[in-house]
Amino acid sequence: QSALTQPPSASGSPGQSVTITCTGSSSDVGDYDHVSWYQQHPGKAPKLMISEVSKRRSGVPDRFSGSKFGNTASLTVSGLQAEDEAAYYCTSYAGSNNFVVFGGGTKLTVL
Amino acid sequence: QITLKESGPTLVKPTQTLTLTCTFSGFSLSTSGVGVGWIRQPPGKALEWLALIFWNDDEHYNPSLRNRLTITKDTSKNQVLLTLADVDPVDTATYYCARAFYYIGAALSDWGQGTLVTVSS
């Protein structure tokens, strides 16, 4: 069981927006602004999309945005495109004991 | 250009020790804030963080696997090694190594292609 909770699936039509949530606790997401989001296409290595809650990595389209409220972080994909269909994982720094925790991943389908 | 590549056995027998090597280029593990981590993914399942080692020799392990894992680095060779003791078929997975940044919560900025390890007798 993953330390961070993500919905197993999400979907949207091309052009729509979809938001994926990542719920942790006051020991990780709620206590640190060190949430990252990764995109993974089938058979490929994950790719860092967002770090520090909302900072897009260079080259990542501004259709991708991140935010956080309390113990829940969110990834929003606006103007969905077919190439956005992938699995998305969140991670958070969790202090010196656990250090890093992962979410269970969300499969995003573009209808 | 930053590259990372995992290498090691593709098949390991139960109870054996698995040793994987991450060979990287384009960055140095002697640079402040830089680290290398290992992450695995069983077929069809989610990513699981295993271990991280940083420029200052700081090591961190997934608490659930801590007693079976060891991570070491050879800065001169640009390599990071991961050993996983007493393997079981549930350890069958694609193992990835990735560059990490300490000061932004160990965000994993660059990943290797991964190597599939099967545990079977």
A6-51 confidence digits (pLDDT tens): 999 999 999 999 999 999 999 999 999 999 999 999 999 999 999 9
Interface test mutation site (partner B, options A28, A29, A47, A100, max chain B beta carbons within 10 A): A100
DSSP for A21-44, please give it: EEE--TTTTTT-S-EEEEEE-TTS
pLDDT bracket for residue B78 (50, 70, 90): very high
d(CA A92, CA A90): 7
Per-residue model confidence (pLDDT) at position B55: 96
Give B14's DSSP letter: T
pLDDT at B24 over 80: yes
B94 min Cα distance to partner chain A (Å): 10
Q: What does the CA dihedral A103, A42, A59, A61 come to, rounded to 10 degrees?
A: -80
pLDDT at B118 over 90: yes
d(CA B89, CA B97): 21
A51 min Cα distance to partner chain B (Å): 6
Predicted confidence (pLDDT) per residue in A69-103, tens digit? 999 999 999 999 999 999 999 999 998 877 899 99
- In the block, which residue shows the tokens 């960055």? B27
d(CA A96, CA B4): 26
Residues constituting chain A: 111
